[in-house]
Amino acid sequence: MTDEYPYKTDLIRAVADRTSPLTNQQIKDEVLSRFGVEVSSCSVINTIGSWHKRITSNPSHIAHLKKLAQAYVTTVGDRSLAKRLVSDVQP
């Protein structure tokens, strides 16, 4: 570690925060390239939360999804048809 970042959690926070759209692997790679220290996915999750929680609570991502949904409804041309098509999609 460094004097500025004495713990691995500090390194993770230096690279990303709770609203980061980066995946855990991207955060791990960035910590390794910037500081030369390997961190685990568990460390990333324990420090800033899982990717799913970060991405679903990120206001900019939610706004992006709303734009995609609006574009989809416009492309389909019918809101009820778009709703039926989306309901057929399995997660």
| Residue 2 pLDDT greater than 90, yes or no | no
Residues 6 or more apart in contact with residue 32 via CB below 8 angstroms:
38, 39
Task: List the alpha helices (DSSP H) in the chain.
Answer: 8-15, 24-35, 41-48, 51-56, 59-76, 79-87
Residues 6 or more apart in contact with residue 41 via CB below 8 angstroms:
24, 25, 28
At 12, the pLDDT band (50, 70, 90 cuts) reads very high
pLDDT at 21: 80
| Residue 62 pLDDT greater than 90, yes or no | no
Give the SS3 label for residue 59.
helix
| Residue 78 pLDDT greater than 90, yes or no | no
In whole angstroms, what is the distance from residue 14 CA to residue 11 CA?
5
What is the average pLDDT score of the chain? 86
